[in-house]
Chain A
Amino acid sequence: MNKEIQGLINDFYEQDYILNQALATSVFLLNNLEKPLLLEGDPGVGKTMLASTLAAHLKTDLIRLQCYEGLDVGTTIYEWNYQKQLLHIKLFEQEKDKRTLGEEIFGMEYVLKRPLLRSITAQKPVVLLIDEIDRADEEFEAFLLELLSDFQISIPELGTIKAVTKPMVILTSNRTRELSDALRRRCLYHWVDFPSKAMEIDIIARKLPDIDEQLAAQVVHFIHNLRKSSLKKPPGIAESLDWAKTLVLLNVDNITDEIVENTLGSVLKHKDDIEFVRNKSVQEFLMPID
């Protein structure tokens, strides 16, 4: 294996994030090709955590932009500090002419930098996480295109602002809607799947060193079987960990119907899903799967 990739895997492991070789390669290329990385996958597979772990690994800041429908330039790129501008006008309207005032109030000191602009004007390269881009609408995707391809942003009053340092851009998506080809073309791509049973046992063991091996295996079997059922919200890795922690706190050494009944809220977040599981027996979910 490439030494740098192995180094990446080891460093992430130290931070309790288990990278497989494929994902490590994608992260490696993100850094080396200076191209954004689009991570798609089901909720709870660790896409967001990858970005924060990468920032910690590189000892740099993480700038996070949580996407939602209705995002606009004012919340993502920049906004004028109107109060400061109005105050400046009031203070100097007697001393300076209109032209001078006009030029002064449209300078960088009157710009409120939002995440995207902050990421390209940072003094050292940062990790920019654009989280759940599928929640934003298509208009917002269009804003991003210039940033993703050229690492620059155009502000009508100020012109084009090029990146002082290029951020490492990670976009995440839960595939609730189809992203445009224009966006995809500008990114590297990685599909993040749920971990294999062995990897998930490893993750639990890493986060909870005191957990019994057999219990960890039971938790993982159960969760993997749940994911194959028709649930409203299949449990993610966070839910596996929460449940494992709960079981450790309760000194459980074997999963029974009663234990599941009492702790299901750690795993499932929908009333319908909880009822679905309660109507089945624990043994059904503890059967080993391939």
Chain B
Amino acid sequence: MLGPQDTRDAFEIAERGYWLDRTLFRYSLKAIFCKRKEHYDRFDEMFDRFWSRYYDDKLEERKKTVKQIKKEPETDTIIFLGAKFNKPKAKEEEKEAKQTKGANENVRLRFTDFSKVDVADRERLEELAEELFHQMSMRFKRRLEDANKGRIDIRRTIRHSISKGGLMLDLAHRKKRKEKRKVVFILDISGSMDTYSYYLLRYVMVLKKYFRELEFFTFSTHLTHVTPMLRANKELQILKDIGSNVQTWSSGTKIGESLTEFLSGYGHKFLSQKHVVVILSDGLETGSVTQLKEAVETIRRRCKTLIWLNPLKGMKDYQPIQKGIVNVMPHLDAFESAHNLDSLLKLEKLLMDV
């Protein structure tokens, strides 16, 4: 958001006559108004749109070099809360839910596959997810607080003693430097993952608060860097922002292509021996399986740990036989399910132990 100081700076350069030279004016406003690369990429088009007399010609030229502005989807994806839901085949669903032995309501929901939750249970599942994720987040926080105690720092203690006439009354402690975990989540939001995406998204949003460096991407046919949208404090606002900015929600899946896009666009920033990469996808690749294999191989080579979470693994008698998954399995450090609340909560141990 631009503030009064930016406006003042813009007036100052205008007052100095820089507006008379369109190029100088453009570059000056760009330096003042843009605060990150994403603004930089959009600025020229916006400048031409506003200032150029021959708007259409300039805009046509610009279209060739700049990405299209993402269109608002016709439907607000916030309506996940009341989104279309594939009505489950009653008999199978009842059977699955009933087969969870000895279950009270909460336990039953905790173990029920997200794609098979009845419309009537969704509200209760929301509440339960909220509660369990909160408990998980408290456990993360406790682990971080325990690491803060350390040994006495002699140098700082002596320094503090100067003001006390040489008496070491205030003990300074040297804090143990925390090894910052860096995590990258890459979430498949294609049609086949539709009913899982919402809960996985909520899960990542909780984790974001307790990992100092967490990057979040979504993909189906294209990759979207979602992390900047996570800065909003309100969950509802975050979901709305993500929903309105991700243009390929619920379309087909080109996992290999999207991971390759991640590598070329973000790999040098978000892959290192300190990074844990978590891919959340059912592995149903509609693009090139070879490209998928190469991309996963490259990611594994460049990160500390690679985890693949597959909701399909929660299905009874599931075997990873699809070509996409078969080819990437040798390169994974962990292959786990993410099909219900319980499986997501189990990941806590996995993420804390890496």
| Distance, CA A98 to CA B30, complexed state (A) | 57
| Distance, CA A103 to CA B347, complexed state (A) | 58
Cβ of A92 within 8 Å of any chain B Cβ, yes or no, is no
Interface residues of B in 15-62 (CB under 8 A from A): 16, 18, 21, 23-24, 27-28, 30-32, 34-37, 39-40
Say whether B158 contacts A82, CB under 8 Å.
yes
| Distance, CA A175 to CA B301, complexed state (A) | 22
Say whether A25 contacts B24, CB under 8 Å.
yes
Dominant secondary structure at the B interface: helix
Which residues of A lie under 8 Å from residue B39 when comparing CB positions? 189
Which residues of B lie under 8 Å from residue A21 when comparing CB positions? 23, 27
| Distance, CA A175 to CA B270, complexed state (A) | 10
Partner of B37 from the list A32, A191, A272 (CB cut-off 8 Å) is: A191
Dominant secondary structure at the A interface: mixed
| Number of chain B interface residues as a range | 35 or more
Cβ of B352 within 8 Å of any chain A Cβ, yes or no, is no
Cβ of A181 within 8 Å of any chain B Cβ, yes or no, is yes
Which residues of B lie under 8 Å from residue A176 when comparing CB positions? 269
Which residues of B lie under 8 Å from residue A40 when comparing CB positions? 36-37
In the complex formed, the residue of B with least CB distance to A33 is B9
Which residues of A lie under 8 Å from residue B227 when comparing CB positions? 178
Say whether A184 contacts B268, CB under 8 Å.
no
B6, B23, B35, most chain A CB atoms within 10 A: B35
| Distance, CA A185 to CA B6, complexed state (A) | 8
Cβ of B329 within 8 Å of any chain A Cβ, yes or no, is no
Known A-B contacts A35-B9, A232-B268; A189 and B27 likewise in contact (beta carbons under 8 Å): no
Which residues of B lie under 8 Å from residue A32 when comparing CB positions? 16
Nearest-Cβ distance from residue B62 to partner chain A, whole angstroms = 16
* A-B pairs with beta carbons under 8 Å apart, 7 shown: A2-B21, A22-B30, A29-B31, A29-B32, A185-B5, A189-B31, A233-B268
Interface, chain A (partner B; CB < 8 A):
1-2, 5, 21-22, 25-26, 29, 32-33, 35, 37, 40, 42, 69-70, 80, 82, 85-86, 98, 105, 174-178, 181, 184-185, 187-191, 228-234, 272
